[in-house]
Amino acid sequence: MMIVTRFAPSPTGYLHVGGLRTALYSYLYARKNKGKFLLRIEDTDLKRNSKEATIAIKEAFKWCGLEHDGEVTYQSERFDIYKQYIKKLLDEGKAYKCYMSKDELDALRAKQEARKERPKYDNRYRNFTGTPPSGIEPVIRIKAPESGEIVIHDGIKGEVKFQVNDILDDFIIARSDGTPTYNFVVVIDDALMGVTHVIRGDDHLSNTPKQIVLYEALGFKMPEFFHVAMINGEDGSKLSKRHGATDVMEYKQMGYLPEALLNFLIRLGWSHGDDEIFSMDDMLKYFDPYAINKSASTYNKSKLEWLNAHYIKTMPFERLAKEMLYFGVDFKAHKKGELLLDILRERSKTLVELKDSANAILNRPTQYEQKAVDKFITPTSLDILENFAKILTLDLDAKAYEVLTNEFLNKNNLKLKDLAQTLRISLVGSSVSPSIFEVLEVLGSNEIKTRIANALNVLKV
């Protein structure tokens, strides 16, 4: 049997990181087994759909490298198919038209609430053979079981039992305007698309008994279900924006690499021993949906930053330089760009931090941090800086600049602390930078002298 999985978001907003995690699980299981991973846009709710959201979902998939098989399926283009199956169920007596008015429904709900019963439809039109009331467009309801239990054999949760009386009534499968409902179209699409394994959030668990009723009524083969526990914030509540970004593409804006985000997400609910770092090849090799944890996982921003820093440190220059173009920094355009990237990547947790550090070195300072100036700049330190500039005649590497600097210091009976911070402020505008000698190598003697001259003009009173 070919494994076929799918990801089926509703295009009502951005792609949530929780959705990306279930998409990743589905993608890995299909790819690992040389199966198919499908993308379906569940856009039957025409009032809430957004073309922009559909584009955002596709962009997020592209950024993360989760390639789906075949064309994207849009439910809004399949209404004729759904109508055929509605008719089939009506013709076979497995569904029926319900003419219950809103007033009838409100009255029923009021009685049930008064008796402290669970609000549910009372099947009053289940076997109706009379004349339909005028002026009411009927909904279509499925004939659900009226007693017994429905058992789900879940790949994560194990056996889950639902008592029919507690959860089911003859639920609606098509609204009065003819549009089909969520549970109905999901079943039709999963069956016709040959989906064998449905991996989704456990907020869908309560829908599953209804879907099982529909699979059985339609005579479709049922997929295996995996209901993944939610991601919680560090305070134990449901993940929201106050815990961290929930929009996948926000992570790109914040300077996270897709490898880091996927690595982070796969560990939210699944593990392989004590391993923390997982390349895509590792994920494909080790991932098993049957090993997904039953309990909710906790979002940990520090872990994400740690993973991102790892990928920044270990990523090949060409790839990282390409990523940095998005943030307006072209390392390849600078003759010492690879050296600069190498000295900065060791101290950067995000690409935004890397951008800021790079710009601090690549761009001549237009102002100087006042706190640093007050602490380190004196008439004497500026005289030392001015004299140091006079010995800069050749472009050197970091080691040679270190030798040259030490010779200058020894000749003038000075120590590195007498020069280093004043020099650093003149070059980058603050007292913080990577090794001063590496900064000297990146800039070269002409640029160093220009920056020193600019600083002297501003700071020498």
Residues of the binding site for ATP: 241
- Alpha helices for 346-444 (secondary structure H): 351-362, 370-376, 379-389, 398-411, 420-428, 436-443
Whether 221 and 187 have beta carbons less than 8 Å apart is answered as no
| Residue 45: Cβ within 10 Å count | 15
- What value does the CA radius of gyration of the chain take, rounded to a whole number of Å? 32
Whether 68 and 39 have beta carbons less than 8 Å apart is answered as yes
Rounded to the nearest 5 degrees, what angle is found at the Cα of 232, between the Cα atoms of 229 and 235? Answer: 150
Whether 100 and 176 have beta carbons less than 8 Å apart is answered as no
The SS3 assignment for 293 reads coil
- Non-local (6+) Cβ contacts of 385 within 8 A are 419, 422, 423, 426, 452, 455, 456
- Alpha helices for 258-390 (secondary structure H): 258-266, 280-286, 301-314, 317-325, 337-345, 351-362, 370-376, 379-389
Annotation: binding site: 241
